[in-house]
Amino acid sequence: MDAVGHEIAASLLVRVHKARTLASRERARRQPFVLDVTLECAPGITILFGPSGAGKSTLLDCVAGLVRPDSGSVSIGNEVLFDSGAAVDIPVYRRGIGYVFQSLALFPHLTVEENIAYGIGNLPGAEKKQRIEEILSAFHITELRQRKPAEISGGEAQRVELARSLVTNPRVLLLDEPMTGLDDDLKAQIIADLRAWRAARNIPILYVTHSRSEARALGERVVTMQSGGIVSEGAQL
């Protein structure tokens, strides 16, 4: 807590080294890919920018626990999630990290409300209901609650995907090109909702994009990656 009783949000600290093994037919044509990154993300939005193959998504996967680094560490504040030297590797489901992938992964047989509720099924009924109502309102999808994914648009589905990740109150949020395929107007609307949500919940957010307009609209800090490493950091592109 700070001097006036507000909870102080924790920073994300990542030091990872990960070599990707190439298939035998690729070895003659390509250099082995090595991710070697040290990055500290304070609460706020950090944009990961760079060309395809730079290692942006691999870095997110290492933070989430979907990929195990060869060496290094990942921590949120004082809590260690991964440390190769100390043999610490917290499972994905216990890391408290929200992850929105480029390809939508809504359950087609569940309604919008059921999709959002999926990750908080262990909460008491009243708290679960309150969280669902708040996130439906925050992303302007209350009227969609009884529809199934096939009955909503791409932009609406992306809002639902974000809501499903955020309703769990993650300590860190990872976004891997979440606006791919959306037009500029839809992007602007969703970016406005995400910025409002971020202002109310001060957590580290890592946002992968190829779009300079998204980076300018969202990024409080832009980290440019190339060939598995960080080549520049700054306030804006």
Q: Can you tell me the mean pLDDT for 82-91?
A: 97
The mean pLDDT of 221-232, rounded to a whole number, is 94
Quick check: 35 and 59 in contact, CB under 8 A?
yes
pLDDT at residue number 150: 94
Q: Tell me what pLDDT residue 236 has.
A: 64
CATH number reported for the structural domain that contains residue 44 in this entry: 3.40.50.300
Residues 218, 223, 225: CA angle, nearest 5 degrees: 125
pTM across the whole model: 0.87
Last residue in a domain, options 169, 190, 221 = 169
In-domain check, residue 57: yes
Q: Are residues 177 and 212 in the same domain?
A: yes
**pLDDT confidence band for 55 (50 / 70 / 90):** very high
pLDDT at 237 over 90: no
Name which residue leads in pLDDT, 22 or 63: 63
The answer, yes or no, to whether residue 206 has pLDDT greater than 70, is: yes
Domain end: 139, 169, 199, which one? 169
pLDDT of residue 54: 92
Indicate if the pLDDT at residue 25 is higher than 70.
no
**Same domain membership, residue 20 and residue 73:** yes
Range of the domain at 128: 108-169
Instruction: Please say if the pLDDT value at position 27 is more than 80.
Output: no
Q: What is the pLDDT of residue 21?
A: 58
For residues 133-143, average pLDDT:
93
Same domain, 25 and 131: no
Best-predicted range by mean pLDDT among 25-34, 68-77, 210-219?
68-77
Q: Domain check: are 135 and 226 in the same one?
A: no
